[in-house]
Amino acid sequence: MVEAEGEDGQGCRGDDAREGGRPLVNLVLEAIGWIIDPANWTGAGSIPERIVQHLAISVIVLAIAALIALPIGAFVGHTGRGRELTVMIAGGLRALPTLGVLTLFGLWLGIGLRAPIIALVILAIPPLLAGAYAGLESVDRRTVDAARAMGMRERQIVGKVELPLGMPIVVGGIRSATLQIVATATLAAYIADFGLGRFIFAGLKTRNYDEMLGGSILVILLALAIDGVFAIVQRLVVPAGVRATRTRQLRSGPTRPRAVVGQPVTEGNRE
């Protein structure tokens, strides 16, 4: 190992060198010990307080991004206008580095939550936009034409036909955006004392790796819990008629051709 020279001029082994030799299992166990330590669950800057802060900024960002992206995505999915431009903009926003955007707005707006919120909104818009227009675009055009032939107005078609049928894909876009926000909201602590990311940055600064890894584990657990909730919601928003159709298709026997006396015969149920 390379010895690092301290301020007193004497050679000493750096903390990084010593920490590098610790088994990963020990680091994880110590991080779990930090999480379950009662001292970290009370007082200012406690784990519950940081979790609430993390959820609060995530909800605010998701609401702002949804107000921007979902109406635009619904318009594009319903009319088909501006699809190429929307895809291009969404792809361009995906390519922006969130940390770079956060640093740029942080230098412009200063310390606080404004810069993280703007950076996270930019991060959340592409999946919301894609989910909205893909959800409405996935609806069979014959169904839309039938609704229009029945005298339904365009707003009614969107609200009563396209949106209910495309809701699973729309919710999938919201789910993807939410997970990205929750995972990346740790960067809010980069320029503000806010959220679970504070544990990560504070632990990194003080070389308290139990706190740093513990904060990372908390973010992972929070993201998994939210993903589980959205997985349930995504199944529940499937229209009852669509679920019934899928059930009948699964119960019906598979069809496969079988040659009998040189003629193909289809086996399985026919409807």
Read off the pLDDT band of 83 (50, 70, 90): confident
Q: What's residue 2's pLDDT? A: 41
Compute the average pLDDT of residues 237-254. 59
Please provide the size of the chain in residues: 271
Q: What is the mean pLDDT of residues 152-170?
A: 87
> Whose CA is closest to 115, among 185, 182, 175, 53?
185
pLDDT value of position 243: 61
Query: Which value, in Å, is the radius of gyration of the alpha carbons in the chain?
Result: 26
CA dihedral sign of residues 65, 71, 75, 77? positive
Domain covering 21-239 assigned CATH 3.90.1150.10 in the classification: no
Query: At 257, is the secondary structure helix, strand, or coil?
Result: strand
Average pLDDT over residues 226-249: 76
pLDDT at 121: 94
pLDDT at residue 80 tops 70: yes
Position of tokens 């998701």?
Answer: 62
Residue type, 181: I
> What distance, in Å, lies between the first and last C-alpha atoms of the chain?
74
Structure tokens at 170: 């729309």
φ/ψ bin of 45: left (φ > 0), alpha (ψ from -120 to 50), beta (otherwise): left
CA atoms of 112 and 193, how far apart (whole Å): 8
What pLDDT was estimated at residue 98?
85
Which phi and psi (to 5°) does residue 11 adopt? -70, 140
Q: Are 116 and 101 in contact (CB under 8 A)?
A: no
pLDDT at position 271 is 45
| DSSP conformation class of 256 | E
pLDDT digits 0-9 by tens, 120-155: 999 999 999 999 988 888 888 888 888 888 888 888
Report helix, strand or coil for 144. helix
Q: What is the mean pLDDT of the chain?
A: 81
At 131, the amino acid letter reads: G
Q: E strands of 125-250, at which residues?
A: none
Tokens of 116: 């993280």
> Which DSSP letter does residue 252 get?
S
Cα distances (angstroms) measured from residue 151 to each of 85, 145, 147, 160, 268? 31, 10, 7, 13, 40
pLDDT, tens digit (0-9, with 9 covering 90-100), for 91-102: 888 888 888 888
**Number of alpha carbons in the 13 Å side-chain half-sphere of residue 264:** 4
